[in-house]
Structures are given as structure tokens and as C-alpha cells.
């Protein structure tokens, strides 16, 4: 029997306990834009699998107006594999336009039509020529995961719709486009984007948040070229889009790799933006002062609990999550709670070209604190790494996913689910970002600890 090749981390090409969807999962990026509807050209069951995994068993987020069971699908059969499914797609689009109300339709390819060579761009082009607001995106699952698909979809909307219909006049002073978390993949994206928009507006900016409840829908996307600059928040997702917009609309971009959690990170975050743009410095400082007054009011009362129960609270931790939440949580836990980092594990298949810059961030979590970080996707390896760690004499807290629950029981530790899949938490608008999210995070961590939940 042939041996299975492994890399230096003991990983193989097989992945157990998968932590993302395929490129077609970017249909949820479309449904996260108010007024946009995805149309999928793929095999039967593909859309349902992406929904049940990325949305339902991930905080039970719900499909809303254009997710869940709503997206039209060609549900390709064997004859479509043999003869091609382009005609089938044409009929599906025509029917969808008659019965579905949307400001924008996005047609996404699955594996089958990409393999057999269906030209969805040609099919969609015929409708574009008639003035139908519709774009096509080649998102066959073998192209990568839903992070890859998200960037494909974003680029398709910009290239085929925004570039055609937007009024590309003068830049609007103070208007920024925000590129950050991946909708639905990040369980708390709705609340997080709401809080990001709140703190940015509080500091004086006008914000195109582009996804979720705070977005004005497709008409907001049409103002993308008018923004003064693009703001990428997170270690890597959104950088490709920002570079496209820099080239296309001569828009500079600011990359802040750390999602801000808590007063220290938020203040640094807002001041960095004001310094980059040389605007809103006074309003930024006023907003920080106002928010910190409220934040530290609650924290002052929290210290009574912390001082009384410190002997029974976890001191060491690991985070198992996508790169954005992993780095953000580490910065908060080290700098504002003084917890001790063990090995950290990033699971989102971060492109290799970004990994070294992310590793550098972990070398300087605080002035005298560093942590090891591993890029691992296989749940078996994740479990092994967690069990190998020395967490000291207290049970650790693991910030992870539902997959880690059994490992945490073995470690006699505590688990806080922060990354896909989150199957033991119902999420409506919870956030762990900003000032308000930090307080919620503190409540979650220490309620979990004192309840001895694992």
C-alpha cells in the first residue's frame, strides 16, 4: 500500500472537520448585499450544502430575503454534463427575472459547468446588453474556498456592474469603502460590521460598509468609485479588492491587519485612519473619549469579579479560527486581559504570500509577549496541536469551533466558539468587535469559565 505524503506539520492532502465552504459558498456574499440575489448554475444539492454548513450550523443565522432556499439553481443533471447546461441556465435566468425582485442578480458557476465548459459569461452578456442588472462569476469549487469565491464575486460586481453604472465623478471627502469580514463564514459578521460602521461614523467618516443591515444595498456599491480611500480591516481578505480599486479608480487604500477589540485597539485603529487621511483628528479624539468613559465604567465594575475570582479563572489560551479573528482576539487577550498565549492556529487557508506578514504580527503581540502561530486546516492536526500545549496548572480556555468541544473536554478546559462552525450558539446581531463587542466578549469568556462549561 503506498504511503501518504505528509508535510513537516504532519498534514496530508486530506482534511477532516472542514472549516470553510467551496468557492460557490460566495453566493452568501451576494445575499449579504441588500437587494442582490444569487443565481447558481451547479449540481443539485450544492447550494443546500453551502447553506446548511456556512449559515445554518454556524450560529443559525438564517437565509433572509435572498439566501437559504431562495436562490434559483439550475440543478444540473447527467444530460447537462453530456450536452452542456448553457441552455438550461438561459431558461433559469429568464424565469428568475420574471418572478424575483432584485436590484442586482449574480450568476455563480459550480464545478460541473466549469468542467464541461459552459460559457456563463456569454449567456449573461446577452442579458447585460438588454440593460438587465446582472453579472457572472466563475466560482467552480475547485478554484478554492469561499474566501477565494468572495473575491471573485466582489471583482465581478465591480468590473461588470459598478464600472458600467456608477457615476465616476470627484471623490467625496470623508467617504470610505470598508473591506473586512467574510459574510456568513464569520458567524458574527452582522454585529461586527454594524459596530465597525458605528465607530467609524462616530469618528467622523461616511462609511460604505457594503454588506449587511448597515449597507444601503446596490446603490451603495455604485458609490464605491466616489470614496476617498479604501479601508481593509483584517490580515488579508480584501487586499486584492483594494488593489483592484487603486488601479481602476486611483483610490489609495489603508490596510489595518487587526480587527479592533476593546478600548486600546479601537483607539489605535481610529487614530491610524485619521493620521492616514489627515482628517477628523478632533472628532476622533472626542469620540474615543466619549466611548472610553462608558467602556471603563462597565470595566470598573467588572474588576470586582475579576479580583475575587482570579484564582479560578483561566490564564492560558489558544485560538483556533480564521486569520482575522485569530489575530484580533490575541491582541485583545494579551494586551487588555493579560492572558498567556499558547500556540495559535489559523484555519482559513490563508494564501501563502500573506503568511509571513501575519507571523510577524504574532512576534509582537505586546512589548514582551509573542506567540507561535500555525496555518492548519485539518481538524485532526488541530486536535493534536492543542493537546500538545502546556497550559500551566489551570484549565485553558480555547477560542475555537464546535469541532474542538471534545478536545476541550479532554483538556478539562473551557470553550468559547468564535469561528465556523458555531453550532452551540444562536447568533442574531452579537458582536465581539469594537467597544461594545469587547464587553460582550468579556461576558462570554467569564460566564463560560465560572459555569464550568466545556
> Do both 313 and 394 map to the same domain?
yes
Q: Are residues 130 and 143 in the same domain?
A: yes
Whether the predicted pLDDT of 40 surpasses 90: yes
Is residue 15 situated within a structural domain? Answer: no
- Report pLDDT digits (tens) over 82-120: 667 889 999 999 999 999 999 999 999 998 888 888 899
Please tell me whether residue 19 adopts helix, strand or coil conformation. coil
Place of cell 498565549: 341
The pLDDT value recorded for residue 82 is: 63
Q: How far apart are CA 224 and CA 221, in angstroms?
A: 5
Q: Is residue 2 part of a domain?
A: no
**pLDDT at res. 308:** 85
Q: Judge whether residue 235 has pLDDT over 80.
A: yes
pLDDT of residue 13: 66
| pLDDT score, position 184 | 97
**Average pLDDT, integer, range 398-412:** 96
Confidence category of residue 2, pLDDT binned at 50, 70, 90: very low
Residues 54 and 151 in one domain: yes
Whether 311 has a pLDDT exceeding 90, the answer reads no
Based on the fold, state whether residues 157 and 53 are members of the same structural domain.
Answer: yes
Asked if the structure places residue 6 within a domain, the reply is: no
Task: Answer yes or no: do 74 and 35 share one domain.
Answer: yes
Does some domain include residue 17?
Answer: no
Q: What percentage of residues in the chain have a pLDDT greater than 70?
A: 96
What average pLDDT does this structure show over 373-386? 96
Give pLDDT tens digits for 135-170. Answer: 999 999 889 999 999 999 999 999 999 999 999 888
pLDDT above 70: residue 6: no
What is the torsional sign of CA 208, 211, 216, 219?
positive
Mean pLDDT along residues 284-296: 98
- Hey, what's the cell of 287? 469620540
In a shared domain, residues 235 and 299: no
Per-residue pLDDT, 3: 42
**pLDDT over 90 percentage in the chain:** 85
Tell me how many domains the chain contains: 3
- Average pLDDT, whole number, for the chain? 93
Answer yes or no: is 423 within a domain: yes
pLDDT of residue 353: 97
Is pLDDT of 199 > 50? yes
Using DSSP, state whether 369 is helix, strand or coil.
strand
* 259 shares its domain with 152: no
pLDDT at 285 over 50: yes
Nearest-angstrom CA–CA distance, 236 and 350: 8
For 285, the grid coordinates are 479624539
Using an 8 Å Cβ cutoff, are 174 and 241 in contact? no
Residue 45 pLDDT: 87
Kindly state the average pLDDT of the residues 238-260: 98
Query: Do 32 and 144 have their domain in common?
Result: yes
Strands 316-321 and 340-341: parallel
Q: C-alpha distances in angstroms, 204 versus 193, 264, 273, 330, 353?
A: 17, 19, 11, 28, 34
Q: Domain of 243?
A: 172-280
Q: Looking at 280, 300, 320, which one is the last position of a domain?
A: 280
Q: Which tens digits make up the pLDDT trace of 346-371?
A: 999 999 999 999 999 999 999 899 99
When pLDDT is averaged across residues 372-400 and rounded to a whole number, the result is: 95
User: Is residue 411 domain-shared with residue 433, that is, in the same domain?
Assistant: yes
Nearest to residue 393, comparing CAs of 339, 451, 318, 314? 314
Picking from 127, 143, 165, the residue at the C-terminal end of a domain is 165
Q: How confident is the model at residue 11 (pLDDT cuts 50, 70, 90)?
A: low
Same-domain check for residues 74 and 160: yes
In this model, does residue 410 exceed pLDDT 60?
Answer: yes
Cβ contacts of 215-220, under 8 Å, gap ≥ 24: 215/33, 215/34, 216/34, 217/33, 217/34, 217/35, 217/36, 217/103, 218/33, 218/34, 218/35, 218/36, 218/103, 218/104, 218/133, 218/161, 219/103
Are residue 81 and residue 64 in the same domain, yes or no? yes
In a domain, 4, yes or no: no
User: Which CATH number covers residue 34?
Assistant: 3.40.50.1980
Evaluate if residue 5 carries a pLDDT over 60: no
| 116 & 40 share domain | yes
> Domain boundary at 112, 132, 165, which?
165
Q: Is residue 290 part of a domain?
A: yes
Q: What local confidence, expressed as pLDDT, does residue 4 receive?
A: 41
Residue 14 in any domain: the answer is no
DSSP state of 75: -
Core vs surface per residue 366-396: b (16+ CB within 10 A) or e: eeebebebbbbbbbebbbebbeebebeebbb
First to last CA, the chain: 40
Amino acid at each position: 500500500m503506498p504511503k501518504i505524503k505528509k508535510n513537516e506539520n504532519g498534514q496530508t492532502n486530506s482534511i477532516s472537520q472542514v472549516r470553510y465552504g467551496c468557492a460557490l459558498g460566495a453566493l452568501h456574499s451576494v445575499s449579504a448585499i441588500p437587494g442582490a440575489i444569487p443565481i447558481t448554475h451547479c449540481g443539485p444539492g450544492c447550494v443546500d450544502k453551502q447553506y446548511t454548513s456556512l449559515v445554518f450550523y454556524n450560529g443559525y443565522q438564517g437565509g433572509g430575503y435572498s439566501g437559504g432556499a431562495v436562490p434559483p439553481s439550475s440543478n444540473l443533471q447527467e444530460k447537462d454534463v453530456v450536452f452542456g447546461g448553457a441552455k438550461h441556465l438561459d431558461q433559469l435566468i429568464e424565469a428568475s427575472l420574471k418572478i424575483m425582485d432584485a436590484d442586482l442578480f449574480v450568476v455563480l458557476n459550480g464545478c460541473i459547468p466549469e468542467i464541461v465548459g459552459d460559457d456563463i459569461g456569454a449567456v449573461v452578456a446577452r442579458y447585460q446588453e438588454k440593460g438587465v442588472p446582472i453579472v457572472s462569476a466563475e466560482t467552480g469549487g475547485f478554484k478554492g474556498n469561499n474566501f477565494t469565491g468572495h473575491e471573485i464575486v466582489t471583482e465581478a460586481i465591480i468590473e461588470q456592474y459598478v464600472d458600467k453604472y456608477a457615476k465616476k465623478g470627484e471623490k467625496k471627502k470623508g467617504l470610505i469603502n470598508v473591506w473586512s469580514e467574510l459574510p456568513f463564514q464569520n458567524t458574527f459578521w452582522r454585529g461586527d460590521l454594524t459596530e465597525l460602521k458605528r465607530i467609524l461614523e462616530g469618528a467622523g467618516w461616511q462609511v460604505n460598509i457594503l454588506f449587511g443591515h448597515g449597507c444601503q444595498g446596490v446603490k451603495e456599491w455604485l458609490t464605491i468609485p466616489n470614496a476617498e480611500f479604501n479601508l481593509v480591516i483584517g490580515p488579508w481578505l480584501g487586499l486584492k479588492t483594494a488593489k483592484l480599486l487603486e488601479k481602476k479608480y486611483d483610490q489609495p487604500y489603508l490596510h489595518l491587519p487587526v480587527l479592533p477589540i476593546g478600548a486600546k485597539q479601537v483607539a489605535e485603529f481610529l487614530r491610524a485612519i485619521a493620521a492616514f487621511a489627515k482628517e477628523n483628528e478632533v472628532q476622533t479624539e472626542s469620540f474615543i473619549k466619549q466611548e472610553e468613559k462608558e467602556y471603563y465604567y462597565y470595566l470598573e465594575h467588572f474588576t470586582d469579579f475579576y479580583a475575587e475570582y482570579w484564582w479560578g479563572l483561566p490564564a492560558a489560551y489558544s485560538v483556533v479560527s480564521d486569520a482575522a479573528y485569530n489575530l484580533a482576539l490575541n491582541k485583545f487577550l494579551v494586551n487588555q486581559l493579560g492572558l498567556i498565549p499558547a500556540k495559535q492556529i489559523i484555519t482559513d487557508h490563508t494564501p501563502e504570500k500573506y503568511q509571513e506578514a501575519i507571523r510577524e504580527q504574532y512576534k509582537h503581540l505586546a512589548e514582551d509577549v509573542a506567540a507561535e502561530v500555525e496555518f492548519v486546516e485539518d481538524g485532526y492536526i488541530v486536535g493534536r496541536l492543542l493537546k500538545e500545549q502546556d497550559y500551566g496548572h489551570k484549565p485553558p480556555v480555547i477560542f475555537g469551533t464546535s469541532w474542538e468541544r471534545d478536545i476541550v473536554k479532554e483538556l478539562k478546559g473551557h470553550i468559547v466558539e468564535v469561528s465556523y462552525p458555531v453550532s452551540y450558539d444562536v447568533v442574531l446581531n452579537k458582536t465581539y468587535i469594537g467597544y461594545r463587542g469587547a464587553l460582550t466578549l468579556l461576558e462570554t469568556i467569564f460566564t463560560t469559565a465560572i459555569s464550568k462549561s466545556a
